């Protein structure tokens, strides 16, 4: 048996989950119905496709000259497997294994909204699992790690935050369950670490928790820092927690934490977080049976685990027969490849109809002939509404991506303002002390800052940029129109946002007397976009929302629709 990993483990070819849907679509197009283990050509093909889509860093592939290679494809495949998005099937012990998608994986390939699917998979992630058994994580770990992290963030003794080093030093190598007793012991370890640093750690820390496959000698600080084994694993757990919106990055000064950035609970979702802790904390762990000396029985157990773990939100069991699953055809694999390339286009463009330009763009990206691309697109974009909805799923992913997709978020916002609302719009970000986007109708202008945050609070330097730099620059006019509003578009807002917005508006009005401000998060913003597309809102309704002087709520939007 392989060396036992003495700590929580998680695959990390990418530490953030934003690109999982696209990566899975490429994987499905390459690997579904084929064997995976030991199939180096398939792994190389997947690796090449990821390179072509800019989903992974290209390498020099010197391993390939020696008949090896494909490790990038292997680790990306392991990431998808760890999230319960595919499983291995064998008809009998003598036949090769086949790759097939779970229900959650199939839903992502079919362009269903990714965020609720992946949030459920993250919350349900557990030790032991088919993945953790495969990489041989110590069986003493029996917990849902993300529930453990949320419980820690709820503990008053920890003052509402965790650092990545604390997770690396005190959590991933010691917390074996998510019961209140286990969490209490972990709290004690963290408090000692905050007081005494690495001197609080056990004497055997570096030997007990070093990687069993590495001969490198680490000191404790190096092991838990960025670039160290435990530090990198801890950071990946933190990034996943932030992706699902329950954890947010916060300036360490807010907590006097002695770190530039810490992770805190997203207080705007506290009720939902409490419900998730109750639901997933009390739900029994899924059974991962490990028969001894029977590889086929172990493979069947792993398959059963993956199919159950990978059910869609709200479902308990995958009712499909293997025969139904094996009916996945070559045309459907092609559909997955086109879907991945269409998804790439959605990062910058609203696609509501299948034009020659769209076919060319998708065809150039995926490399398939244009006739095949057009036929696949006719399946994927069944109506303008479906096209907008699929675009907005990608747009929402950008809105929580942090700096990774911030520029794409700006460009996509300008695209929405122009394509959906018929406004003039320009993306300006990255060109100096300017807002991210300016937009205008026949009668008025607005400036917009996009913030790829899960809980944006409008900090003081951002307030100053708006009232001291941006608004004065448009005091005379914006494209010949009077500036009427400035707005912030973000995935979500912190409780401090409205108070900080009021301060900003008051100071901005010393330059433009009647200017107003607002903030709108993804739920009401999607509501606005879809309602406008249906003719239920007008440009003047947009201005009403943007001049509300506070965060816009779904009720505000619905009231305008019903008026």
Q: What is the pLDDT of residue 64?
A: 45
- The CATH architecture one would assign to domain 405-562 is 3-Layer(aba) Sandwich (3.40)
Q: What is the pLDDT of residue 266?
A: 85
Which has the minimum average pLDDT: 314-323, 328-337, 448-457, 470-479?
Answer: 328-337
In this structure, are strands 445-450 and 483-489 parallel, antiparallel, or unpaired?
A: parallel
Residue from 303, 280, 275 nearest 291 by CA: 303
Cα distance between residue 329 and residue 524, in whole Å: 39
Which has the higher per-residue pLDDT, 141 or 218?
A: 141
pLDDT tier for residue 56 given thresholds of 50, 70 and 90: low
pLDDT tier for residue 53 given thresholds of 50, 70 and 90: low
Chain segment 322-380, per-residue pLDDT in tens: 887 777 656 677 888 888 788 777 777 778 788 898 899 888 887 888 998 898 888 88
Which has the higher per-residue pLDDT, 253 or 507?
A: 507
Which has the minimum average pLDDT: 81-95, 174-188, 263-277, 384-398?
Answer: 384-398
| Helix, strand, or coil (residue 422) | coil
Averaged pLDDT score across all residues of the chain: 88
Q: How far is the first Cα of the chain from the last one, in angstroms, to the nearest whole number?
A: 68
Taking residues 446-461, what's their average pLDDT?
A: 92
Chain segment 130-161, per-residue pLDDT in tens: 999 999 999 999 999 999 999 999 999 999 99
Sign, CA torsion 483/489/495/500? negative
Query: Percent of the chain having pLDDT more than 90?
Result: 56
Chain segment 232-241, per-residue pLDDT in tens: 999 999 999 9
pLDDT tier for residue 70 given thresholds of 50, 70 and 90: low
Domain boundaries in the chain?
Answer: 1-141+286-322, 143-284, 330-394, 405-562
Cα distance between residue 448 and residue 437, in whole Å: 5
pLDDT tier for residue 61 given thresholds of 50, 70 and 90: very low
Cα distance between residue 72 and residue 307, in whole Å: 25
Residue 67 has pLDDT above 60, yes or no: no
Question: Phi-psi category of 73—alpha, beta or left, where left has phi over 0 and alpha has psi -120 to 50?
Answer: alpha
Taking residues 430-451, what's their average pLDDT?
A: 91
Q: What is the pLDDT of residue 532?
A: 92
Torsion angle of C-alpha atoms 222, 227, 232, 238, degrees rounded to 10: 90
For residue 151, whether the previous peptide bond is cis, meaning omega lies within 30 degrees of 0, is no
pLDDT tier for residue 281 given thresholds of 50, 70 and 90: very high
Taking residues 24-46, what's their average pLDDT?
A: 89
pLDDT tier for residue 2 given thresholds of 50, 70 and 90: low
Q: What is the pLDDT of residue 328?
A: 66
Cα distance between residue 138 and residue 533, in whole Å: 53
Cα distance between residue 118 and residue 102, in whole Å: 13
Residue 430 has pLDDT above 50, yes or no: yes
Residue 62 has pLDDT above 50, yes or no: no
Q: What is the pLDDT of residue 71?
A: 67
Q: In what order do the strands lie in the sheet with 551-552?
A: 424-427, 437-440, 445-450, 483-489, 516-520, 551-552
Taking residues 312-326, what's their average pLDDT?
A: 83
pLDDT tier for residue 304 given thresholds of 50, 70 and 90: very high
The residues facing 520 across adjacent strands are: 489, 552
Judge contact between 212 and 4, C-beta under 8 A.
yes
């Amino acid at each position: 048996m392989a060396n036992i990993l003495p700590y929580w483990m998680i695959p990390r070819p990418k530490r953030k989950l934003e690109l999982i849907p696209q990566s899975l679509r490429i994987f499905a197009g390459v690997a579904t119905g084929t064997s995976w283990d030991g199939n180096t050509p398939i792994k190389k093909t997947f690796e090449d496709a990821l390179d072509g889509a800019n989903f992974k860093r290209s390498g020099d592939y010197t391993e390939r000259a020696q008949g090896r290679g494909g490790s990038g494809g292997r680790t990306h495949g392991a990431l998808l497997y760890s999230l319960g998005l595919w499983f291995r099937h064998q008809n009998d012990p003598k036949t090769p294994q086949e790759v097939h998608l779970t229900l959650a994986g199939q839903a992502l390939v079919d362009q269903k909204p990714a965020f609720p699917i992946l949030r459920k998979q993250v919350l349900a992630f557990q030790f032991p699992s088919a993945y953790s058994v495969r990489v041989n994580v110590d069986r003493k770990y029996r917990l849902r790690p993300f529930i453990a992290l949320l419980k820690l963030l709820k503990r008053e003794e920890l003052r509402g935050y965790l650092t990545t080093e604390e997770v690396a030093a005190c959590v991933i190598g010691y917390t074996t369950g998510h019961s209140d007793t286990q969490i209490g012991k972990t709290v004690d370890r963290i408090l000692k670490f905050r007081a005494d640093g690495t001197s609080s750690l056990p004497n055997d820390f570096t030997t007990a928790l070093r990687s069993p496959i590495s001969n490198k000698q680490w000191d404790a600080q190096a092991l838990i820092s960025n670039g160290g084994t435990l530090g990198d694993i801890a950071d990946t757990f933190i990034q996943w927690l932030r992706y699902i919106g329950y954890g947010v990055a916060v300036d360490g000064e807010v907590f006097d934490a002695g770190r530039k950035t810490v992770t805190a609970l997203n207080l705007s979702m506290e009720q939902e977080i409490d419900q998730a802790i109750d639901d997933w904390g009390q739900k029994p762990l899924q059974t991962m049976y490990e028969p001894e000396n029977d590889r086929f029985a172990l493979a069947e157990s792993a398959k059963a685990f993956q199919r159950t773990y990978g059910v869609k939100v709200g479902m308990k069991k995958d009712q499909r027969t293997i025969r139904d699953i094996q009916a996945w055809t070559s045309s459907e694999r092609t559909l997955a490849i086109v879907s991945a390339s269409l998804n790439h286009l959605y990062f910058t463009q609203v696609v509501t109809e299948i034009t020659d330009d769209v076919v060319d763009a998708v065809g150039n990206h995926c490399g398939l002939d244009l006739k095949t691309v057009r036929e696949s697109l006719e399946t994927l974009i069944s109506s303008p509404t479906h096209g907008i909805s699929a675009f907005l799923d990608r747009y929402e992913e950008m809105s929580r991506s942090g700096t990774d997709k911030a520029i794409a978020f700006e460009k996509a916002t300008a695209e929405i303002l122009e394509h959906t609302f018929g406004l003039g719009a320009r993306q300006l970000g990255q060109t100096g002390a300017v807002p991210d986007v300016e937009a205008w109708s026949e009668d008025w202008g607005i400036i917009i800052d996009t913030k790829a945050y899960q809980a944006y609070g409008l900090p003081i330097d951002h307030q100053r940029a708006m009232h001291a730099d941006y608004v004065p620059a448009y005091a005379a006019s914006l494209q010949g129109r009077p500036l009427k509003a400035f707005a912030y578009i973000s995935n979500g807002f912190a409780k401090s946002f409205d108070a900080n917005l009021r301060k900003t508006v008051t100071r901005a009005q010393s330059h433009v007397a009647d200017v107003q401000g607002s903030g709108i998060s993804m739920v009401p913003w999607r509501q606005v976009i879809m309602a406008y597309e249906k003719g239920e809102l007008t440009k003047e309704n947009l201005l009403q929302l943007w001049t509300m002087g506070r965060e816009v709520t779904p009720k505000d939007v619905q009231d305008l629709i019903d008026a």
